[in-house]
Amino acid sequence: MMKKYTLQSCLALAACMALAPMALSCVEKESKHVYGVHAFIVKTMPENGDYGSVFSPLKYPTAFSKDGVCPSGETCFDISVGAYAVDIEGNFLPEYNDTVTLSAEPGKVSSSEVTFVNGLLGQWEMVDGKPTKLIEGQKVGIRFTHGNVRIWVEDSMRKLKTATEYGLCFNDRETEDGVYCEPTLATGVSEEYVFEPQTVKMIQYNPEQKDGPSPLLKEYGQLKARKGHDLVVTNVVSTGFYITDLGDPDYNSLFIFTYSQPGRVEIGDRVCEVSGGIAEFTGMTQLQFPSWGIQNKERSTAEDIDPAPEDGEQGVGSCVDKETGIIRDCTEEELEAMNAIVDCSDQFFDHELTKAEKKAFAYLDPPAPRILSSDILKLNNVSDGSTGSDGNKLRTNPDQTNALERLEGAVVTVQDIRLSTDFVNCDDNGNGKIESNSEEADCRTDCQSNSTRCTEISNLESYDQWKAWTIEGEAEVSVASSSLIAGFDITKGCLSWIDPVTNRRMMRCPERHLKRLTGNLKQVLPGCSGSRFCYSSGFRPSMIMTVIEPRLSTDLIMDEEFNAESEKAFEECVNDKECLAACKEYGGACTCDKFEEYRRKVPSKDPNAPTSCLNRAVAQ
Amino acid sequence: MITTKKLMGLWGVLMLTASLASCTTEMETDDIDFESGIRLTVIHTGDIHSRLLPYDMDLMATDERIGMTQANEPFGGIARAATVIRKIRAQAQHSVHVDSGDVFQGAPIFNEYNGEVEIYALNYLGMDAFIIGNHEFDHGVSNLYDKLSKAQFTILAANYQWKPTQGNDMLPLRDVARPYTVINADGVKVAVIGMANYSSMSSSTYGDNSLGITVLENIQVVQSYINLLKNDANILTMVTHLGLGEDEDVIRKTEGLDVVFGGHLHVVLNPPKIIPDGRVDFDGEPDPKMVPLVHSGAFMKYVGHFDGVFYPDYQVRPKLYAGMNGDALRPWDLTLVTHKYTPIPIESNIAEDAELAHLMAPYERELARRLNLRHIVGYAPQTLKRFGTGGHDSPLGNFLADLMIMRQRVEADFGATNSLGIRTDVNQGPVTNDQLYNVFPFPNSLSSMYLSGTEVWTLLDYNTYRSMNRGCQSQLQVAGVRYTLDCHTAKRVVDDYLDIGYLFEYQYRTDAYNEICRKKTPRPSYCRISWEDKSNPANNIYDVHFAKDIKFVRSSCNMDKTDPTAENKPDITKCKNLNAYDEKCWHDENGNIKYKEDGVTIDDSACILRCEQIADTELGNYYACIESMQPQWVYKFATNDYMSHGGSGFSSLKYNTTQKNTGVALREVLIDGIEKQRSCYDRCIEDAGGLISEGGRFDPDNPGTCKRLQNCKDDTKKFETRWCKQLYKYSEQEVCLANLDTELDGTGASQCVGLDKTTDYDLCLRQKYGIYCNDKFFTNEIEACYVMGELGMLTDKTGAIVEGDQCKDKENSGSVYSRCVDSFITDQKYAKCVGLGIESEYDACVRQASVTAENICKDVACFIASTDGRQNSERPRNENLEDSVNSFSNGAAIMEALQAAGYDACY
């Protein structure tokens, strides 16, 4: 069965020449692998007999069945796996009795370790001592499988029996029941299964942990526009762009991280294809190192072509209502529009839009922004009192927070909010970051706790996020990309000074209100830039910042009247030495009225603290 | 001194070992049953950049995402990588190891040995194929030939056509480099087509010498070698040093590659990208094969581990082969059907391959001594970035450029140095010579020349053009000058020229400007008439500029203050001593410039000189005399010799006849500059208004009030402590040799012959991963002996296992004490060892670290740099967008984006 391999002295000609004098020292060996397993022949059988095809792909499985029953509302897919071991010439190896690892590429399998018996996995029909037909295999469930999928069978760790084997094992590992050797990398893969192609929802929706990381983390994301799953650009920011899949009402949006402002991508453009590694960055799912192909909404060259409707294809029967976000039957117009969209594979799409195409692009308009109430916003920042795996207080039950998670990356609106009035720079050593478990971190925690209207300055400068609160309900939300909003300077008219005790840079601003804030919803886990810990299963962060990234200057509607009055009052206070000193010392908004109001609400521990600007008993 | 002869001797052992490793048993392809599938394991490395030894760095979020942990510092190290590589290759049935190139340049070991150690180390790894990267040419063609001729792996560059260099005998680089190789991976024939770099090879035409290379077009080269090899190999791969965008482009436009391994941009693609290739079916319809594109990072931070499962194509696409059978099915023609990829982080918890570590140790020690690498130049209280947050001025670049113009006997009006000449950040912590070599690996020196205003404009125009392709991130770090990079205009100009059929080459701009400005209607707004023919406007000569608002920064013009706490105010009369000073220009009470003639205020544009505020976040705001650039005036310019020789395409400087090379290395300029700064201790005293004992607020015993000093002490102690660990890397023989080197002038080396070459620590490392060994060996040595004894790992010099009980009998057997005694053979030196066994040498070393840290923070400079916004940019905006946009149709897009984000992007 084992063949004596012929010896050739050297590989490449160059190496041969260089090594000519050494060639004699080469020693013949039989094989570098102890027991000759080279590959596995793998046969699998789907429970329902369907392997799927490009024209009729299998449905994306989201769960493993238990005792043959699929959890309600989920999709399961069970298969039975059989395999036998072969040597390098393809001969059956009945002496192989080790453990193998099963995996789905891409995807997950329900049980990954199985052991061979007499070179076989599962029951096979044997002819002349050789396995020929799989009768019954090992039952496993697979899930999170999309696109073209194969099941891998890999030689796994193997128990060592003899001293000779021990000597040949490069990397041994001791366990209670003996010494094991690392695997040989012998592998076999199954026939191909064809599942539905990836969608944004597959990337965003984690059925096990509703607010958890993408179930496809570290897989390659490949999204293609297709009927019923058209993709449209909803925002372009300095580090990438947001897309929304028009075919799903929730979990339908995704951030594409392009490092710098992506050239020639604009809001409303159609995304033909986009691909990249699926990653979590501070709690936000994104594609990294992306490639993309886009059809621009606006065109300059003119040449009318009437696109011929594609033969025999009917639009899909369900459409997402742009206003309500509910799935309903498509209207005639929508179907017509969907059919009129130019095929993405048309490389020469450079004409002025026809009437039908204009309609089609109108269909591609992103859905109307969802309005986020204070109650929903609070799901991200209210603790239920228990302690999470990072030692901090847990926030609200994560199952409820999927109200926000399902909107991650989507365009949302928050109404009537007030912006931060206090700012403090907690970066004591000036290295541009807040060290965890340090005074700096304590400072940030103090600032970010809900009782103050405070934004941490280095956070503001590095990530461009200022905090704000809804006026009704006091729910916290942060505004990002202030730099995109021309003429809006949050520091205008603010008072800044160095705190003599802590030596920290402080700033206090007049209270300003926003009537309406629209933009893409981002969720950020502070201090969780990429460590594995943040994304291990079961990890519950104590705090998630809800950030809204505006698209255009019109996404921020200021309450001009209120702000003008507030700025005036602020100026008055700054000109009043006592009020100024009191405000600097005790925090809160810096006007006489606000100061009194604040002092009533938050009584000072210091008995000498003034209760009013007009009460001049300020200790200096 | 360790002589070269001795080093060669050690390498002799290495080469023998390496050659044994590469003479593995091989199979004939005929023996293999392809129909049961082939798993090919590919080890991928690249952009090692001379980082053979572990190094410190602040991890980026991307590294942490892959699985690196800051606590596992230092990272990298080729001896650790060797452990991983050898392990994987031992397990794998069919494996190859390919490297994407740029193994040269980036650490002092290259400055000293010109790449010799790198090549020997790669030989040891048993690497199969290596691509020539752009940095391989850094010490010249002859050096490259010299080093590559020692390589035992195949060197590839399919896209280079070699021709003799002018005036030189052609070195036979072409005999060393091949276009492709077919590796027999235990019976599986793996073809590797190697594509060397072209995008950063500006030195191949612009530098001092031509390299004798003609770079060929990618797509044609790759497709022709695919066609040549497809019947002679089972698997077709391409390994490149092209860059991400180019790799993607080649895959999309060729047909037949199974998997591609790239480098040059220093990024890790995890997961690999999957790119559709240009395959068409028999009917000519697109039928793309999905090709994985793998990039595995740089600096030996990761070892890329790719596994692909291949089946005969006829099994994968049975319909195509319907009706065929037997040999017509070509069962050896394999196609990739599924793959897995893991970048394995190389961290301190991986054991070093003892053999490789020992073979490098003499180089390492010799290097440390020659260059005084551990010398602490200063302390950086915060990380100084090579790229600023806005992408232009970095604190490090500003600091260096300022020093260049202020250097004695240079004293220039302005200066510039290429941004990519600064290779890494200066991390928070002690700044050592070693680190500065990593920051400035190039041996560039300071030079000066005179430029007219027009030439200044050309220089900055070119920089804007060059930066435009790189996310409008300035490719220069400047001092003494402020200007705006108008990338928007540059982009428009280039687009317009490409439209009319020019292959835009900056050098030929004048003709192109005239053509487009005369012909295009309406005339583009960027055209400026530089010479007008009123009788025939068709003869007008046009000029186009990409750099705007060029101004020079002169002396300070703060108004004299009577109250030192008052804010600075402008006073233009302070600029009186400058040539451009004009009494008629003055500032009103709001600080605005006015021009007054005969008592009448008129247009202020006549004022060349103004007194303007400069905002500096580190050094505070101040006013300075700012002078508009005058095309006919002459300015003294400080730069580096690389740029003044026309490097990076700055050919406008190449022919300047006023050039003077000071011969002073930029690294020296930087070190001098750092050393002149005040220490953290002094800065703390000053900030607190003096010492407590002198009535101030600073208490040296409680420096917690001054974070800088506390951080300095903590960081320096950590640095010194780590060095203590490092000391234990060496074996008895090495300790012996090292002592001889320093104390006996290199004589008597024979004393060391026969001493153990392996440390107990190494023995431990050979068998287990490292943290465990560190814990064990760096506590008390006697305890360590017991632990080893219990584990049956304690050996005597013959290699026989001894019992733990012997530790007792021998008292300090195996301890530093006994090793020390062994090392010092003569009696008078024996005395030095007394007492060592009680407190381990390591413990003593750690104890000393606190004292050292205290002293260092009092003495050495506290390295702080200014950030005052010298270069602005106007990025390209979307205008008149046309047709569909594909990111992959623009190879530069990704590279530009990466640079913009401050990635280690390439070169």
CB contact under 8 A, B93 and A23: no
pLDDT tens track for A96-117: 888 899 999 999 999 888 989 9
Quick check: B257 pLDDT over 90? Answer: yes
What distance in Å separates residue A88's CA from the closest CA in chain B?
6
Q: Tell whether A316 is within 8 A of chain B (Cβ).
A: no
Predicted local distance difference test score (pLDDT) of residue A195: 96
Q: Give the lowest-confidence range in A191-200, A258-267, A512-521, B33-42.
A: A258-267
Please tell me the least confidently modeled range out of A193-207, A581-595, B28-42: A581-595
Q: What is the DSSP letter of B84?
A: H
Q: How far apart are CA B670 and CA B441, in angstroms?
A: 13
Decide if B36 and A259 are in contact by the 8 Å CB cutoff: no
Alpha carbons B399 and B415: distance in angstroms, whole number? 11
In chain B, residues with a C-beta closer than 8 Å to the C-beta of A279 are 65
- Evaluate if residue A459 carries a pLDDT over 80: no
Give the neighbor-by-neighbor strand order of the sheet with A454-456: A454-456, A422-424, A505-508, A495-498
**Section B599-605 average pLDDT:** 69
Could you tell me the CA-to-CA distances from A96 to A136, A269, A409, B134 in Å, in that order?
19, 57, 51, 49
Averaged pLDDT, B629-638: 93
pLDDT digits (tens, 9 = 90+) for B407-460: 988 999 999 998 888 888 888 899 998 888 888 888 888 999 999 999 999 899
pLDDT band at B124 (very low <50, low <70, confident <90, very high): very high
Q: Whose CA is closest to A148, among A76, A273, A54, A279?
A: A54
Q: What is the pLDDT of residue B766?
A: 47
pLDDT value at residue A336: 72
Collect all residues with Cβ–Cβ distance below 8 Å to B210 and sequence separation of at least 6: B165, B166, B204
CA–CA distances in Å: residue B639 to residues A474, B423, B480, B651, B666: 57, 17, 12, 13, 10
Which among A10, A277, A532 is the nearest to B67, CB-wise? A532
Q: In the block, which residue shows the tokens 């604009």?
A: A266
- A 181-240 residues inside an 8 A Cβ radius of B: 182-189, 192, 218-220, 222, 239
pLDDT value for B197: 87
pLDDT at A56: 92
Q: Which residues contact B634 (CB under 8 A, 6 or more apart)?
A: B450, B451, B452, B453
A22, A260, A524, A534: best to mutate for the B interface, most B CBs within 10 A? A260
Q: B235 pLDDT exceeds 50?
A: yes
Q: What is the mean pLDDT of residues B600-618?
A: 75
For residues B354-377, give the mean pLDDT. Answer: 81
For residues B389 and B386, give the distance between their C-alpha atoms in angstroms, rounded to a whole number.
Answer: 10
| CB-based contact B69 A432, cutoff 8 Å | no
Instruction: Name the β-bridge partners of A418.
Output: A469, A513
Spatial CA neighbour of B187 closest among B31, B20, B331, B310: B31
Model confidence pLDDT, tens digit, residues A386-398: 544 444 444 445 5
CB-nearest to A429 from B309, B338, B382 is B382
**Angle (CA) A104 B333 B99, round 5°:** 70
B492 touches chain A (CB under 8 A): no
Residue of A nearest to B888 (CA): A291
Residue burial B313-351, b: 16+ Cβ < 10 Å; e: rest:
bbbbeeeebeeeeeeebbbbbbbbbbbbbbbbbbbbbbb
- The span from the CA of A467 to the CA of A380, in Å, is 14
Q: Say if the Cβ atoms of A33 and B93 lie within 8 Å.
A: yes
User: Which residues of chain B make contact with A263, given a CB cutoff of 8 A?
Assistant: 876, 878, 885, 893
Q: What is the pLDDT of residue B594?
A: 74
- Residue A390 has a pLDDT of 45
* Most confident range, picked from A513-527, A534-548, B121-135: B121-135
Q: Are B271 and B305 in contact (CB under 8 A)?
A: no
Which of A348-357, A560-569, B498-507 ranks highest by mean pLDDT? A560-569
Residue type, B837: G
Chain A residues lying within 8 Å of B271, measured CB to CB: 218-220, 277-278
**Beta-strand relationship, A284-295 and A270-281:** antiparallel
Question: How far apart are alpha carbons B436 and B420 in whole angstroms?
Answer: 14
3-state secondary structure A543-578: CCEEEEECCCHHHEEECHHHHHHHHHHHHHHHHCHH
Q: What pLDDT sits at residue A395?
A: 47
pLDDT computed for residue A271 by the predictor: 86
Sign of the torsion formed by the C-alpha atoms of B561, B567, B573 and B574? positive
**Is B356 in contact with B79 (CB distance < 8 Å)?**
yes
Of A8, A12, A293, the CB nearest to B181: A12
Q: Tell me the residues of chain A between 28 and 47 that have a Cβ less than 8 Å away from chain B.
A: 28-33, 38-41
The values of phi and psi at residue A87, to 5°, are: -90, -170
- pLDDT attached to residue B475: 86
Query: Helices (DSSP H) in B688-746: which residue ranges?
Result: 707-727, 732-743
As given in the structure block, the two tokens for residue A548 are 């809204």
Task: Please give the helix or strand (H or E) that residue B129 lies within, else none.
Answer: strand B129-131
Residues A448-462 as b/e (b if ≥16 CB within 10 A, e otherwise) read beeebbbbbbbbbee
pLDDT of residue A344: 62
pLDDT(B566) > 60:
yes
Instruction: Provide the terminal-to-terminal Cα distance of chain A, rounded to the nearest Å.
Output: 94
Identify the pLDDT of residue B51. Answer: 93
Query: A10 in contact with B at a CB cutoff of 8 Å?
Result: yes
In chain B, whose CA is at the least distance from the CA of A292? B887
Which amino acid is located at B166 in the chain?
Answer: Q
Q: Best interface-test mutation with B: which of A291, A496, A536 has the largest number of B CBs within 10 A?
A: A291
User: Quick one: closest CA in B to A267, which residue?
Assistant: B878
Q: Are B385 and B396 in contact (CB under 8 A)?
A: yes
Reported ipTM: the value is: 0.79
pLDDT class for A617, splitting at 50, 70, 90? very low
Burial class (CB in 10 A: 0-12, 13-18, 19+), B215: middle
pLDDT digits (tens, 9 = 90+) for B684-733: 888 788 888 888 788 887 776 688 888 899 899 988 887 776 665 554 44
Q: Which helix (H) or strand (E) holds A424?
A: strand A422-424
Residue B736 has pLDDT above 70, yes or no: no
How confident is the model over A402-417, as pLDDT tens digits? 678 888 999 999 999 9
Mean pLDDT, range A129-148, rounded to an integer: 93
Mean pLDDT of the region B764-792: 46
Q: Do B382 and A432 touch (CB under 8 A)?
A: yes
pLDDT in tens, A145-162: 999 999 999 987 666 555
Determine the Cα–Cα distance for residues A123 and A43; give it in Å rounded to an integer: 11
A28 to chain B nearest CA, in Å?
A: 6
**Binding-face residues of A in 282-301 toward B, CB within 8 A:** 289-296, 298-301
Answer yes or no: do A15 and B707 touch at CB < 8 A: no
Interface membership of A608 toward B (CB under 8 Å)? no
Same CATH fold, B378-677 and B4-319+331-357? Answer: no
Chain B segment 606-665 residues within 8 A of A by beta carbon are none
**Is A572 an interface residue toward B (CB < 8 Å)?**
no
Q: Which CATH class is domain B378-677?
A: alpha beta
Lowest mean pLDDT among A37-46, A137-146, B393-402, B843-852: B843-852
Distance of CA B309 to the CA centre of its chain: 34
Task: Pick from B594-598, B732-736, B874-878 the range whose average pLDDT is largest.
Answer: B594-598
DSSP conformation class of A20: G
pLDDT value at position B366? 79
* The pLDDT of residue B905: 32
pLDDT at B756 over 50: no
Q: What is the pLDDT of residue A272?
A: 84
pLDDT at B570: 83
- The pLDDT confidence band at residue B747, using thresholds 50, 70 and 90, is very low
Q: How far is B455 from chain A (nearest CA, A)?
A: 31
pLDDT greater than 60 at residue B58: yes
Radius of gyration of chain B (CA): 31
- Which of B91, B309, B883 shows the shortest C-beta gap to A349? B883
Mean pLDDT across B325-338: 89
Q: Do B309 and A30 touch (CB under 8 A)?
A: no
Q: Which range, B85-94, B156-165, B568-577, B809-818, is most confident? A: B85-94
Other Cβ atoms less than 10 A from the Cβ of A170: the count is 13
Q: Mutation test of the interface with chain A: which of B250, B293, B338, choosing the one with the most A Cβ atoms within 10 A?
A: B338
Determine how many CB atoms are found less than 10 A away from the CB of residue B603: 8
Query: Residue A401: which pLDDT band, with cuts at 50, 70 and 90?
Result: low
The partner residue sitting opposite B24, judged by closest CB among A32, A185, A189, is: A32
Cα torsion B109, B113, B115, B118 to 10°: value is -60
**Among A394, A481, A398, A392, CA closest to A445:** A392
Q: Tell me which of B427 and B620 has the higher pLDDT.
A: B427
Residue-level length of chain B: 907
Q: A4 — contact with chain B (CB < 8 Å)? A: no
Of the pLDDT bands very low, low, confident and very high (cuts 50, 70, 90), residue B67 is confident
Outline where A475-521 has alpha helix (H): none
Fold of B4-319+331-357: Purple Acid Phosphatase; chain A, domain 2 (3.60.21)
**Distance separating alpha carbons of residues A64 and A74, to the nearest angstrom:** 9
Selection from A335-349, A462-476, A478-492 with the highest mean pLDDT: A462-476
Is pLDDT above 50 for B892? Answer: no
Compute how many other C-beta atoms are within 10 angstroms of the C-beta atom of residue A176.
4
Chain-chain contact of B61 with A187 (C-beta, under 8 angstroms): no
φ, ψ of residue A381 to 5 degrees: the values are -135, 20
Instruction: Answer yes or no: is pLDDT of B559 > 70.
Output: yes
Which chain A residue lies closest to B889 (C-alpha atoms)?
A293
d(CA B896, CA B856): 41
pLDDT: which is higher, A238 or A284: A284
Task: Report which listed range, A292-306, A564-578, B512-526, B788-802, is most confident.
Answer: B512-526
Per-residue model confidence as pLDDT tens digits over B372-405 = 888 899 999 888 877 665 557 888 888 899 999 9
Distance between A138 CA and the closest CA of chain B, angstroms: 20
Residues near A601 by beta carbon (within 8 Å), at least 6 away in sequence:
none
Q: How far is CA B339 from CA A37, A589, A609, B260, B635, in A?
A: 20, 59, 69, 12, 59
The residue-averaged pLDDT of B192-220 equals 72
Identify the pLDDT of residue B729: 55
Confidence (pLDDT) at B3: 39
Q: Report which of residues B581 and B347 the model is more confident about.
A: B347
Q: A204-218, A428-442, B383-397, B515-529: lowest mean pLDDT where?
A: A428-442
Residue-level pLDDT at B294:
97
Which residues of chain B from 660 to 679 reach within 8 Å of chain A, CB to CB?
A: none
A60 touches A108 (CB < 8 A): no
B263 — contact with chain A (CB < 8 Å)?
A: no
> What are the boundaries of each domain within chain B?
4-319+331-357, 378-677, 729-777+780-839
pLDDT at A540: 57
Label residue A298 by pLDDT band (50, 70, 90): low
Average pLDDT over residues B554-580: 80
Three state DSSP letters for B741-784: HHHCCCCCHHHHCCCCCCCHHHHHHHHCCHHHHHHHHCCCHHHH
User: What count of residues does chain A have?
Assistant: 620
Of B36, B91, B886, the CB nearest to A293: B886
